[in-house]
Amino acid sequence: MPDYPARPAYSPARQEPFAADGGREVISVSSLNRLARQRLESAFPLCWVSGEISNLTVAASGHAYFSLKDPQAQVRCVMFRNKAQTLGFRLENGLQVEARVLVSLYEPRGDFQLNVEGMRRAGQGDLYERFLRLKAKLEAEGLFAAERKRPLPAHPRTLGIVTSPQAAALRDVLTTLARRAPHVKVVLYPTLVQGEEAPHQIAAAIETAASRRECQVLLVVRGGGSIEDLWAFNDEGVARAIAACPMPVVSGVGHETDFTIADFAADLRAPTPTAAAELASPDRDALRDHLQRLAGQFSRRMHRRLEEAQQRLDWTARRLKHPAERLALQQQNLHALGQRLQHALGRRLERAGFDLERARQRLRLARPQPGAQAARLEALQRRLANAQQRALQTRRGQLERLAAGLTHLNPEAVLSRGYAIAFDQQGQAVHDAGSLAAGQRLTLRLHRGERQVEVRGESDSAAGAN
């Protein structure tokens, strides 16, 4: 059952109406009831109230009207249709319940009443909380994910049943299978379905069926009962055994309004054990009718195929010719092909002759002429000899001009005309007489040989040789 948030405490937004002279204003009964309802709904948060249902009436609209009572008092209650449809059990007089209510007032009659938002059987609050916690845990792990669900095989050969051998659910399942699919083999995996040992035995039976792999679909079934009776199917071990089973599992536990953790873990939930058998087994009568329809369709199609084949045979027979006629036709075709071949060969030979003649003409034009080539070679040799002679003369004239230039620039030629060059002791040529000092020794280079001289004075112009 969903947990509703508590309403905040009432904080009046306006003061009660007063008359202009300081006394209370006179108000109508409807206004009084409306103010009383607003005060009640604001002052009381959503709360849980326990009691026994009595004076139950379900209107045609689907709304349920009843009283909750205990040994000392009672209070009127209303549960609207959209809330009543979410209950997992039927409302009955004398049923002990815990109701999630909003304290209110029915204005038209001024009746104090409780608007019921949710309800559970008395004493089941802890079990239901455990159910919700386990469901949230396994759902967060992805154990109930839609992509994990596997489709049931259309024509299973063997069905496995996990239930008690004494359970009425087993008789219902076997009766349904005998009526719908007597050819399907049934394997029973016996287990307790109620009590402290039941969860362990149910999980062990499912694991046994998984290890044996004797069946293609496994049914986990039990008849209806209270939440305590069905609690073995809200066990985590049972849910994990169902999820780990290699074959598809159909859960048919309780009645249509009962939900267990096993229903969410199974590949398919059935509202009852009988419905589980119907979902897992093919209907023999429906299959027989389907086969008869298929047989009729097959027969009609075969008749049509035979008729079409007969028509094709008649058409082929009309096209069939005598062998002699076919041979004559083939001879005519062969003669025509021979003539075409002769014409084609003649045209190819003619084109080949034309190509050969053109090649001969090109060969004659490309044949070498030794006499003309020899005359041309002699002319080229003469031109080459003349060019070499002219080039040699040109290079000789250039060489002579360069040699004459070098002769004019040669220092030895100057010395041969009576000149001398003076060098200081560092071997540098002397250019300025003013840079010389008395007693400084110089070297004079003449056209033939060298002499050491000494500077005697500024007015002297010669020095003795060593």
38-77 pLDDT tens trace: 888 888 888 989 899 989 999 988 899 999 999 899 999 9
| Mean pLDDT for the chain overall | 84
- Per-residue pLDDT at 19 exceeds 50: no
306: enclosing H helix or E strand: helix 284-319
- Per-residue pLDDT at 6 exceeds 60: no
Measure the CA–CA gap between 264 and 169, rounded to whole angstroms.
20
pLDDT average, residue stretch 129-136: 86
Position 464 scores a pLDDT of: 45
The candidate with the shortest Cα–Cα distance to 192, out of 248, 238, 255, 243, is 238
Position 124 scores a pLDDT of: 59
**112 touches 73 (CB < 8 A):** no
- Percent of the chain at pLDDT exceeding 70: 91
The candidate with the shortest Cα–Cα distance to 163, out of 134, 130, 188, is 188
CATH architecture of the domain covering 29-123: Beta Barrel (2.40)
- Per-residue pLDDT at 418 exceeds 50: yes
pLDDT average, residue stretch 232-237: 92
Residue 458 binned pLDDT confidence (cut-offs 50, 70, 90): low
DSSP state for residue 246 in the 8-state scheme: S
pTM score > 0.85 for this model? no
Position 123 scores a pLDDT of: 62
Measure the CA–CA gap between 76 and 358, rounded to whole angstroms.
125
Q: Lowest-pLDDT range, 201-215, 251-265, 364-378?
A: 364-378
The CA angle 194-197-201, to the nearest 5 degrees, is 90
Write down the CATH superfamily of domain 150-285: Response regulator (3.40.50.2300)
Residue 126 binned pLDDT confidence (cut-offs 50, 70, 90): low
Measure the CA–CA gap between 321 and 326, rounded to whole angstroms.
7
Q: Which of helix, strand or coil describes residue 209?
A: helix
Amino acid identity for residue 332 in this structure = Q
- Per-residue pLDDT at 17 exceeds 70: no
Residue 5 binned pLDDT confidence (cut-offs 50, 70, 90): very low
Cα–Cα separations (whole angstroms), residue 391 to 214, 400, 401: 115, 14, 16
Sign of CA dihedral 168, 169, 171, 175: positive
Measure the CA–CA gap between 74 and 112, rounded to whole angstroms.
11
Measure the CA–CA gap between 78 and 85, rounded to whole angstroms.
13
Q: What are the extents of the domains in the chain?
A: 29-123, 150-285, 411-466
